């Protein structure tokens, strides 16, 4: 998926926080995906057609028990792709913020590598300046301290990314150096 260059003032764009859960690092395949926008809109889906036998022991123990069985969020790869495209099309111009290149790859795969018109680039949450990173991680961990907000659940991890970002944003840090227009 090609990404247009980030224009001046791009940090004023809507931020959308991404997290994915996947089978393992060798036989990588999407299990669940969540996107939470800075203004609180959410997309969450669990694939109904991933292969459990491809999951690592860690994923079997820490991720699979957290997956919901709600049929409205369980869907095939094809349905997920269409719903994700539809959800993204409803947003104004936006940037995706995540903490893993695996999430970037799985996001592109979930979109079947089709372009998204309003996508303007990436924010690498691992590239935050140290003082900002401390606030970000503190606020993300605070979110996960809320009962029913476990780690290794795509929706809760994406919400935690948002909470971390909002905490750092309220501390009035400059975000200019974390914009990464590369895929």
Locate the domains of the chain by residue range: 11-20+36-41+76-180
| CA–CA dist 38, 10 (Å, integer) | 14
Q: Which residues of the chain have pLDDT under 70?
A: 1-11, 172-183
pTM beyond 0.95: the answer is no
Question: What separation, in Å, do the N-terminal and C-terminal C-alpha atoms of the chain show?
Answer: 7
Q: According to DSSP H, which parts of the chain are helical?
A: 57-62, 77-89, 101-110, 130-144, 154-170
| pLDDT on residue 9 | 39
| CA–CA dist 29, 55 (Å, integer) | 9
Q: Write the CB contacts of 136 (distance below 8 Å, at least 6 apart in sequence).
A: 125, 128, 164, 165, 167, 168
| pLDDT on residue 175 | 52
| CA–CA dist 129, 42 (Å, integer) | 27
| pLDDT on residue 135 | 94
* Strand-pair category, 30-37 with 119-124: unpaired
What distance separates the 2 farthest-apart alpha carbons in the chain?
A: 46
Do 122 and 94 meet the contact criterion of CB atoms below 8 Å apart?
no
| pLDDT on residue 5 | 36
| DSSP character at residue 23 | S
| pLDDT on residue 170 | 84
């Amino acid at each position: 998926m090609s990404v247009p260059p980030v224009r001046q003032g791009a940090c004023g764009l809507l931020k959308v926080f991404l997290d994915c859960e996947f089978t393992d690092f060798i036989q990588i395949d999407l299990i669940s995906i969540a996107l939470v926008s800075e203004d609180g809109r959410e997309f969450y889906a669990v694939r109904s057609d991933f292969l459990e036998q491809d999951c690592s022991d860690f994923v079997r123990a820490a991720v699979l028990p957290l997956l919901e069985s709600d049929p409205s969020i369980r869907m095939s790869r094809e349905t997920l792709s269409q719903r994700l495209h539809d959800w993204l099309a409803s947003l104004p111009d936006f940037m995706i913020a995540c903490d893993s290149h695996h999430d970037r790859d799985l996001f592109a795969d979930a979109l079947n590598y089709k372009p998204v018109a309003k996508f303007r680039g990436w924010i690498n949450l691992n590239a935050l300046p140290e003082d900002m990173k401390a606030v970000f991680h503190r606020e993300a961990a605070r979110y996960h301290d809320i009962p029913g907000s476990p780690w290794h659940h795509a929706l809760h991890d994406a919400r935690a990314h948002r909470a971390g970002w909002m905490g750092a944003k309220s501390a009035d840090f400059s975000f200019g150096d974390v914009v990464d227009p590369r895929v």
